């Protein structure tokens, strides 16, 4: 038993590691010691063997203020296996001195759960500085919201009141998609009883992005010393016309200095207010800020898709050599400053030497220097069709530069692939017989006479005998003659209308393929079953549309189906896209083709056919 215990343990350990590799999460900070007036970065990385991973669920952290600082994503497809890793970055501002902890962080994808262990952080006093007045701490609290972007004006005149708000955008006019930074400062010259409550504004014709962390400081206004906390946010307009930043509100508890009447029914509440344990609630509200969003100038390039900022574009393949039929990862990366979330993929040139599959995009956003920047990568799967030196032409990307007020264009360098013949290379087939046949030559001639005298006429005698037969004997030949006549007309109609017959027989052929796939699943041949389902689904859509769908991308195929069947509902298109993506994933990633998942695909395909038979009608 001892002889086999070690190999068995190694196998069990390998299986356990394999199971854990499907979904994992790690959490780390940039440092373990931070002063009370400082900030630290928390990075949570979620990895999994799929095209998407779940977002981590942060626990309730009462000892830190938490601000979202963006995310970065990387996707790799190696030998048909997809691996995704997403890093979520947060900025933490400590609220209490001492040993604090970040609780365990978990993720759940519906089947598996992964947990990152807790992290201990030592929060110290402000190093080498006088502690900030008590009034400065409450302003750090402005809530954990998508944005802290305020409005114009002030609730009170600066320098004339003990507490007031000031909200200012860095510009009042911009183009759609151009970054507008707005700053909100909460000033106080007196200690507050508790952390204030921040009510962020709403927006009209704007979207917002946080610019953490919260900045704290001191300043003097009209001879009064104030402590302040500042929140910044980046705004992007959606369309030309007016845009508004609605009022924001801060609710603060201000200590009361009024004398206490011992005969007042609220004597104890007033006494607590005087001692600072409780104060009078007061709201500070800004006014609405109106922005003017200018239309983009005329003369946009034909391929312009609304990108505003300063960008560059690069293209690369994960390998320089490939074989026909093998998948190659082709990535187009757009880098620069601007609202990268709204940037769409540039149009690919025609690639007759490749079959192109739409796939995923990854986003890496940075917020250094209060500027939204980073890169967005669009990854395609290209399958070479023919061998030889194949080139992917340069890809053009157009954008509008708000600094120069002009449209600009950037291009990638061509990408060259050396494609070798695959294991099952195709053969050359000539469909024109004239191209392969030589001239016709006579091989010989011969004439042989059977008889010199003509035979006696036998046809009249045969006709006379047939006429003497009963009437019922003539019915079967007449029926066969009519059947042959009908079949001849049917075949002529079928030859003249091939698309109609393909449209009608698509359902029956699809169900025959599903039965074949189910037999393969029962035999344990899941990869072959996925191939049958994938080819069947492509053939079904091709028969319905009257055009080869497998040569198109998913987006172009959806446009073709929508044009061919304008009455089809949106649900049908969603189901088509979902099944298409699932079949492609398992077709080009055989490792994920389990028996249970493949069986579910067959059932889903069967239900989708019934739905499409109702939606896709000629």
- Domain regions of the chain by residue span: 18-124, 138-293, 309-420, 498-615
Q: Does residue 530 register a pLDDT over 60?
A: yes
Structure tokens at 438: 């030589």
Whole-angstrom Cα distance, residue 129 to residue 152? 33
The pLDDT of 568-576, averaged and rounded, is: 82
Instruction: Please classify residue 480 by burial: count the beta carbons closer than 10 Å to its beta carbon, then call 0-12 exposed, 13-18 middle and 19+ buried.
Output: exposed
- Residue 423's pLDDT is 66
Q: Does residue 309 register a pLDDT over 90?
A: yes
Output the CA–CA distances (angstroms, integers) from residue 496 to 49, 490, 491, 543, in the order listed. Answer: 50, 10, 8, 16
Running DSSP on this structure, what letter comes out for residue 434?
G
Instruction: Please list, in sequence order, all residues whose beta carbon lies within 8 angstroms of the beta carbon of residue 606, skipping any fewer than 6 positions away.
Output: 511, 514
Domain with residues 18-124, CATH architecture = Sandwich (2.60)
Give the model's confidence band at 411: pLDDT under 50 very low, under 70 low, under 90 confident, else very high. Answer: very high
Report which listed range, 51-65, 370-384, 600-614, is most confident.
370-384
Whole-angstrom Cα distance, residue 104 to residue 114? 10
Whole-angstrom Cα distance, residue 566 to residue 573? 11
Output the CA–CA distances (angstroms, integers) from residue 109 to 24, 577, 591, in the order listed. Answer: 11, 21, 19
Q: Does residue 159 register a pLDDT over 70?
A: no
Give the model's confidence band at 446: pLDDT under 50 very low, under 70 low, under 90 confident, else very high. Answer: low
- Residue 429's pLDDT is 39
- Residue 588's pLDDT is 66
Least confident of 227-241, 323-337, 446-460: 446-460
Q: Does residue 150 register a pLDDT over 50?
A: no
Least confident of 38-42, 73-77, 107-111, 477-481: 73-77
Q: Does residue 194 register a pLDDT over 80?
A: no
More confident residue, 588 or 332: 332
Q: Does residue 234 register a pLDDT over 70?
A: yes
Least confident of 133-147, 199-213, 245-259, 598-612: 133-147
Q: Does residue 152 register a pLDDT over 50?
A: no
CATH code of 309-420, in short, is 2.60.40.740
Structure tokens at 342: 């709204």
Secondary structure (3-state) at 511 = helix
Q: Does residue 1 register a pLDDT over 70?
A: no
Q: For the chain, give the mean pLDDT.
A: 78
DSSP string, 536-560: HHHHHHHHHHTS-STTS-HHHHHHH
- Residue 531's pLDDT is 84
Q: Does residue 491 register a pLDDT over 50?
A: yes
- Residue 596's pLDDT is 59
Least confident of 303-312, 381-390, 494-503: 494-503
More confident residue, 448 or 100: 100
Q: Does residue 136 register a pLDDT over 50?
A: no
Least confident of 51-65, 373-387, 446-460, 592-606: 446-460
- Residue 494's pLDDT is 64
Whole-angstrom Cα distance, residue 385 to residue 461? 68
- Residue 517's pLDDT is 87
Report which listed range, 17-26, 329-338, 496-505, 555-564, is most confident.
329-338
pLDDT per position as a tens digit, 412-426: 999 999 999 876 544
106-109 contact pairs (CB < 8 A, 24+):
106/25, 106/56, 106/57, 107/23, 107/25, 107/46, 107/53, 107/54, 107/55, 107/56, 107/57, 108/54, 108/57, 109/23, 109/48, 109/50, 109/53, 109/54
- Residue 62's pLDDT is 77
- Residue 589's pLDDT is 62
> CATH: 3.40.50, 1.10.287, 1.20.120, 1.10.357. Which one for 498-615?
1.20.120
Residue 97, CA atoms < 13 Å, CB-side half-sphere: 9
Give the model's confidence band at 479: pLDDT under 50 very low, under 70 low, under 90 confident, else very high. Answer: confident
Nearest 10 degrees: Cα torsion 353, 358, 359, 361 = 110
More confident residue, 131 or 43: 43
Whole-angstrom Cα distance, residue 290 to residue 265? 47
Ranges assigned E (strand) in 278-394:
280-285, 289-293, 309-317, 321-323, 328-338, 354-357, 361-366, 373-384, 388-392
Give the model's confidence band at 433: pLDDT under 50 very low, under 70 low, under 90 confident, else very high. Answer: very low
- Residue 237's pLDDT is 93
Secondary structure (3-state) at 115 = strand
Distance of CA 465 to the CA centre of its chain: 82
pTM over 0.85: no
Instruction: Please list, in sequence order, all residues whose beta carbon lies within 8 angstroms of the beta carbon of residue 341, skipping any fewer than 6 positions away.
Output: 363, 365
> CATH: 2.60.40, 1.10.3470, 1.10.3300, 2.30.30. Which one for 138-293?
2.60.40
> Angle between the 498-522 and 471-496 helix axes, to the nearest 10 degrees?
90
More confident residue, 343 or 154: 343
Output the CA–CA distances (angstroms, integers) from residue 385 to 34, 434, 531, in the order listed. Answer: 57, 27, 18
Give the model's confidence band at 444: pLDDT under 50 very low, under 70 low, under 90 confident, else very high. Answer: low
Instruction: State phi, psi for 148 to the nearest 5 degrees.
Output: -115, 75
Instruction: Please classify residue 142 by burial: count the beta carbons closer than 10 Å to its beta carbon, then call 0-12 exposed, 13-18 middle and 19+ buried.
Output: buried
pLDDT per position as a tens digit, 531-563: 888 888 888 888 888 777 776 677 778 888 888
Least confident of 171-175, 250-254, 290-294, 380-384: 250-254
Tell me if domain 18-124 and domain 498-615 are identical in fold.
no
């Amino acid at each position: 038993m001892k002889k086999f215990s070690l190999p068995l343990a190694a196998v069990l350990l390998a299986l356990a590691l394999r199971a854990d590799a499907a979904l994992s999460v790690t959490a780390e900070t940039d440092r373990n010691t931070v002063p009370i007036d400082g900030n630290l970065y928390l990075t949570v990385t979620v990895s999994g063997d799929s095209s998407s991973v779940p977002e981590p669920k942060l626990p309730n952290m009462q000892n830190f203020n938490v601000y979202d600082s963006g995310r970065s994503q990387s996707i790799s497809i190696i030998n048909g296996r997809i691996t995704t890793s997403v890093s979520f970055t947060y900025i933490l501002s400590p609220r209490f001195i001492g040993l604090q902890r970040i609780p365990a962080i978990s993720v759940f994808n519906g089947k598996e759960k992964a947990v990152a262990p807790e992290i201990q952080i030592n929060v110290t006093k402000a190093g080498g500085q006088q502690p900030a007045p008590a009034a400065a701490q409450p302003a750090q609290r402005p809530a954990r919201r998508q944005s802290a972007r305020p409005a114009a004006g002030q609730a009170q005149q600066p320098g004339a009141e003990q507490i007031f708000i000031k909200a200012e955008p860095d510009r009042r006019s911009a183009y759609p998609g151009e970054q507008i930074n707005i700053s909100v400062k909460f000033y106080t010259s007196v200690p507050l009883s508790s952390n204030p409550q921040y009510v962020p504004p709403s927006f009209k014709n704007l979207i917002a992005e946080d610019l953490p962390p919260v900045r704290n400081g001191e300043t003097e206004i009209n001879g009064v010393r104030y402590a302040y906390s500042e929140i910044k946010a980046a705004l992007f307009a959606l369309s030309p016309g007016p845009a508004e930043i609605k009022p924001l509100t801060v609710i603060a508890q201000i200590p009361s200095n009024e004398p206490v009447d011992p005969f007042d029914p609220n004597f104890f509440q007033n006494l607590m207010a005087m001692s600072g344990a409780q104060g009078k609630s007061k709201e500070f509200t800004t006014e609405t800020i109106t922005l003017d969003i200018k239309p983009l100038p005329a003369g946009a390039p034909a391929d312009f898709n609304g990108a505003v900022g300063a960008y560059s574009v690069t293209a690369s393949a994960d390998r320089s050599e490939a074989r026909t039929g093998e998948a190659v990862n082709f990535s187009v990366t757009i880098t620069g400053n601007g609202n990268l979330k709204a940037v769409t993929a540039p149009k690919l040139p025609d690639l007759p030497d490749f079959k192109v599959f739409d796939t995923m995009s990854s986003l890496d956003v940075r917020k250094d220097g209060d500027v939204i920047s980073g890169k967005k990568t669009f990854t395609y799967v290209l399958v070479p069709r023919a061998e030889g030196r194949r080139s992917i032409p340069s890809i053009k990307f157009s954008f509008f530069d708000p600094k120069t007020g002009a449209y600009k264009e950037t291009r990638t360098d061509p990408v060259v692939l050396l494609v070798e013949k695959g294991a099952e290379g195709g053969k050359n087939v000539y469909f024109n017989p004239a191209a392969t046949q030589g001239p016709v030559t006579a091989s010989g001639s011969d004439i042989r006479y059977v008889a010199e005298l003509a035979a006696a006429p036998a046809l009249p005698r045969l006709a006379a005998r047939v006429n003497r037969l009963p009437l019922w004997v003539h019915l079967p030949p007449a029926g066969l003659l009519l059947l042959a006549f009908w079949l001849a007309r049917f075949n002529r109609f079928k030859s003249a209308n091939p698309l109609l017959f393909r449209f009608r027989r698509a359902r029956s052929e699809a169900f025959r393929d599903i039965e074949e796939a189910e037999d393969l699943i029962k035999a344990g041949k899941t990869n072959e079953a996925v191939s049958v389902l994938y080819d069947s689904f492509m053939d079904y859509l091709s028969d319905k549309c009257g055009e080869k769908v497998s040569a198109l991308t998913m987006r172009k195929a959806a446009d073709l189906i929508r044009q061919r069947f304008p009455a089809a509902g949106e649900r049908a298109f969603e189901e088509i896209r979902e099944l298409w993506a699932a079949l492609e994933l398992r077709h080009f990633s055989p490792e994920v083709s389990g028996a249970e998942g493949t069986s579910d695909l067959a059932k889903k395909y069967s239900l989708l056919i019934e739905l499409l038979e109702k939606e896709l009608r000629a």
